[in-house]
A and B are shown apart, each in its own frame.
Chain A
Amino acid sequence: MDSLYQLSILEAKEGIKKGSFSREELVKSVLSRIEEVEPKLNSFVSVNKEAVKDARKKDQEKEDKALSGIPVAIKEVLSTIDIKTTASSRVLENYYPAYDATVVAKLKENGAILIGKTNCDAFAFGASTENSGFGVSKNPYDLERVPGGSSGGSASAVAAGETIFALGTDTGGSIRQPASFCSITGLKPTYGACSRYGLLAMASSLDCPGPMTKTAEDAETVFNLIKGKDPKDATSVDFPEKKLQTGKIRIGLPKEYFSDGIDKEVKEAVLKAVKSFPEKDFEFTYVSLPNTGYAIEVYYIITPSEISSNMARYDGIRFGKERKYFEDEVKRRIMLGTYTLSAGYIDQFYLKASKVRRLITNDLENAFKKVDLIIGPVSPTPPFKIGEKTDDPLKMYLGDILTASANLAGIPGISVPCGFADKGLPIGMQIMGPRFSEELIFFVSKTFQTLTNWHKARPKI
């Protein structure tokens, strides 16, 4: 049973339940896969040496929990008690949290086994993992290319079978874009649906932890376990129970998401994917989101502003090293945000951006009066080459154009694999919905995954 690491959560659960294999065997399979491919991928900052022991204990106890014995990889910006949490920054090289992030605690309570902490751009600032203090992660479909980011390590680990599933965080596309680049499923939930407590804050009003999995079904399983109000996060909310709608599902295709700036292969793959939905149940129309064209501008004002404040606690006194050890991109965003909040400029930048943020939100809300969901690409291009954009931060920022709006408006979005470009590079399709529409998003994603096999592809590594 050397390929247990390829299983989805659902398959692994079933295997354990049936007694086809033990939790220990599953964990060992994943660990040996890590040993095999990690030198090529660099998905992890640290691997949990206790994992086998944990699995053995759960086997002995015949633990009966939703995720009992299922390995999970956790992004380095999510706190794990007594397990080094570096945010992939040299500043936190030796930081050992005194507590678990709420979403991590929930997975543990449900029996999941922490297999390791995954690499990302330092403090999640970036879209390629190239800003990591511990080296870039590689795309398992093409080792010369980035796995996307910032949750790139989580994405490459899931895609390559170095874990059964992972948690990432998404502030401007950091779950969806790497999911798209590595051909896995990744959900950015409704803002507040999953607690941010213990998530090393990037931009507090946009950050969302979420699942990165091999299937939409798995994403749903994980989401249902980590969602819900947390008394430690004042911005978290109880997830309202809604009944799934009946009748045709109306899907909107935003014109702006299929414009000239978007790679032809990407557009074609997404439009082809859209066509696979049966007409009797789905209805498609074009919609317009005129202000989403400003999403990057708004995002790169709001986010750095909040970052400049959120990063102020890293002073090297209570934990971590001095501020001079911050990576370049971290310094850049702190400086940018300090400027956009400073006296004389706050109105021109932060305040103006906060107003346009409302316009973008209004655009989406208006669209959702006409359609149930919106579908478009995730990233304007397939995975790019390592080093291709590192000298031009602005060029890198522009890659967030299709994902940032969901964060600005607090709505959920999922990336599901929908094809490959000529060079065999993965392409993802994004499905967005109004706040708290996760159930419908999962329904459509699962439907798509019963109609297509893109999610079953595995990289040859």
Chain B
Amino acid sequence: MELSKTIIGLEVHIELRTKSKMFCSCSADHFGVEPNTQTCPVCLGLPGALPVPNEKAIKDTIVIGLSLGSTIPKSTWFDRKNYFYPDLPKGYQISQYKNPLCVGGSLELDSGKKIGITRAHLEEDTAKLQHATISGEEVSLIDFNRSGVPLVEIVSEPVLSTSDEAKEYLEKLQQLVRYLGVSDADMEKGSMRCEPNVNIEIKESGKLYRTPITELKNINSFRFAKRAIDYEVQRQFEEFKEKREEMTPGNKQTRGWDETKGITVLQRQKEEAKDYRYFPEPDIPPIVWTDEDLKSFATRIKEIELPKEKRQRFLREYSLSDYQARILTDLKEQAEYYEASVRAGKEKGVSPLEIANVVINKRAGKDLSPEELVEFIAREKEIKEVPEEEINSLIEKYLEENPDIVRSFKEGKPQALGKIIGLVKKELGVIVSADKIASLIK
């Protein structure tokens, strides 16, 4: 019996960084806010309240879809997904079932492998539940500030075949939405969440068997995702050896990742099979895009340089190595900083490559402006251009001429060396460190 294949599909949820919630005008910025201070009749699910969709959230979802190469269907609508849970105030989630905003597309890994995207749709987030013991009583506490925050669900095809691929897919997706500026996509804060669906194919005496699919929950970092998948692959293999259970339409299970124990734990199954009773949301008129709408979406996405495009341009324009281009384009802000520095460097004769080296090796101070960075590099270059011996002999000469400085230094006043630094700078135009001067004091 051997493991012939691992099959992973990823469901990723991303909270959009809109100002207001998906269906009401409450603030969507809920992180670290006092509980239940950002609610209204709509997101609290009070009787009689009605949802009105946030246009920006819809357009941001489309931008995500287009950046993944999705098709944008002309006709789409919201559906109600009906189920009961205390974090779901209306007893249904407004989501999309039959006609999502974005269909198809792919995300390319470094290996060149394209991971197919099934769909990307828009829905509303649930409230936040926390569990507590209050005067001996086990209770759950609900905060509705998160209720109704726009949430995009991106579903991949089950074509990822290693936990490393899964991790890379997640990193790339995070990078992409951050580039688009539509989400913080922070796993720890929960503005990006992932649920890997995992099963394996086992080969035995020429026959292939597939194990039941497991949906993994409670994963709040990319590292956890990788570890949980690795664990689950082993567990399923062992379980199959023992029980020989194969995948059927009804035996998918949900397991939670326990980071401290490093294992996945079976989560309690609901008694009733899930039956979400989807039907078109009657409170929200459907969405129909005109050709002009679709054209304007395409224009918007063309104006945004995606990570891969930027990387390729960096390679081309700045003669960087693949490694350098990758690091510099990892974060959009970093890439923008680099390019601003390159522009500033042009006048001072500092090359893009020199700037890349300093930025990547973090040699310069953290908070330098692009101009200051270029200045720093230029100075550094000058130091290198004056022979070491010349500097040393000059320092020695000044030390001899200024015995009071040497004396002060020896009495424990290193700041006295500042005068020498000034004299050297004046003479040679280079800045020497106090340590260097100290090393020359006999």
A/B: CB atoms within 8 Å of each other: yes
Bound: A317/B147 CA distance, A? 15
Q: From B87, which residue of chain A is reached at the shortest CB distance?
A: A317
Q: From B45, which residue of chain A is reached at the shortest CB distance?
A: A313
Q: Is the CB of B90 within 8 A of A312?
A: yes
Residues 41-70 of chain B: 1 if any A CB is under 8 Å from the residue's CB, otherwise 0?
Answer: 100111111111100000000000000000
**Which of the candidate stretches B9-17, B106-114, B282-290, B413-421 sits at the interface with the other chain?**
B282-290
Q: By CB atoms of chain A within 10 A, which of B48, B86, B142, B282 has the most? A: B48
CB of B84 closer than 8 Å to a CB of A: yes
Contact check: which of A92, A197, A205 meets B50 at CB < 8 Å? A197
**Which of the candidate stretches A40-48, A52-60, A94-102, A140-148 sits at the interface with the other chain?**
A94-102
Q: By CB atoms of chain A within 10 A, which of B49, B51, B86 has the most? A: B49
Q: From B36, which residue of chain A is reached at the shortest CB distance?
A: A318
Q: By CB atoms of chain A within 10 A, which of B92, B275, B277 has the most? A: B277
CB distance from B142 to the nearest CB of A (A): 7
How many residues on chain B are close to A (CB under 8 Å)? 27
Query: With A232-B50, A312-B82 given, is the CB distance from A318 to B44 under 8 Å?
Result: yes
Q: Is the CB of A234 within 8 A of B50?
A: yes
Query: With A231-B52, A234-B52, A312-B91 given, is the CB distance from A95 to B47 under 8 Å?
Result: yes
Q: Is the CB of B283 within 8 A of A235?
A: yes
CB of B104 closer than 8 Å to a CB of A: no
Contact check: which of A234, A305, A318 meets B45 at CB < 8 Å? A318
Residues of B within 8 A of A92 (CB): 47
Bound: A382/B99 CA distance, A? 47
Q: Is the CB of B277 within 8 A of A341?
A: yes
How many residues on chain A are close to B (CB under 8 Å)? 42
**Which of the candidate stretches A177-185, A262-270, A342-350, A401-409 sits at the interface with the other chain?**
A342-350
Q: By CB atoms of chain B within 10 A, which of A311, A315, A350 has the most? A: A315
Query: With A306-B282, A309-B80, A315-B91 given, is the CB distance from A233 to B50 under 8 Å?
Result: yes
CB distance from B294 to the nearest CB of A (A): 22
Q: Is the CB of A317 within 8 A of B86?
A: yes
Q: Is the CB of A319 within 8 A of B277?
A: no
Q: Is the CB of A197 within 8 A of B275?
A: no
Q: From A320, which residue of chain B is reached at the shortest CB distance?
A: B47
Q: From B47, which residue of chain A is reached at the shortest CB distance?
A: A200
Contact check: which of B48, B53, B279 meets A79 at CB < 8 Å? B48
Residues of B within 8 A of A99 (CB): 41, 46
Tell me if B's interface is mostly helix, strand, loop or mixed. loop
Query: With A235-B285, A313-B89, A315-B86 given, is the CB distance from A201 to B48 under 8 Å?
Result: yes
Bound: A78/B48 CA distance, A? 8
Q: From A323, which residue of chain B is reached at the shortest CB distance?
A: B84
Bound: A98/B43 CA distance, A? 13
Bound: A203/B282 CA distance, A? 9
Residues of A within 8 A of B47 (CB): 79, 85, 87, 92, 95, 97, 200-201, 313-314, 319
Residues of B within 8 A of A305 (CB): 279
Q: Is the CB of A197 within 8 A of B49?
A: yes
Bound: A341/B80 CA distance, A? 11
Contact check: which of B50, B53, B142, B285 meets A317 at CB < 8 Å? B142
Bound: A111/B30 CA distance, A? 39
CB distance from A269 to the nearest CB of B (A): 36
CB distance from B404 to the nearest CB of A (A): 78
Residues of A within 8 A of B91 (CB): 309, 311-315
CB of A288 closer than 8 Å to a CB of B: no
Restricting to B169-214, which residues have a CB under 8 Å from any CB of A? Answer: none
Residues of A within 8 A of B142 (CB): 317
Bound: A79/B50 CA distance, A? 13
Q: Is the CB of A338 within 8 A of B283?
A: no
Q: Is the CB of A313 within 8 A of B90?
A: yes
Residues 264-302 of chain B: 1 if any A CB is under 8 Å from the residue's CB, otherwise 0?
Answer: 000000000001010100111100000000000000000
Bound: A378/B27 CA distance, A? 47
Bound: A98/B44 CA distance, A? 11
Query: With A306-B282, A318-B89, A346-B277 given, is the CB distance from A341 to B50 under 8 Å?
Result: no
Residues 306-331 of chain A: 1 if any B CB is under 8 Å from the residue's CB, otherwise 0?
Answer: 10110111110111000000000000
A selection of 22 A-B contacts at a CB cut-off of 8 Å is A87-B47, A97-B41, A101-B48, A197-B48, A197-B49, A199-B48, A200-B47, A201-B283, A234-B50, A234-B283, A234-B284, A305-B279, A308-B277, A309-B82, A313-B46, A315-B86, A318-B45, A319-B47, A341-B82, A341-B277, A341-B279, A342-B277
10 interchain residue pairs of minimum CB distance: A312-B91, A204-B282, A341-B277, A205-B282, A198-B48, A313-B45, A200-B47, A313-B90, A79-B48, A234-B52
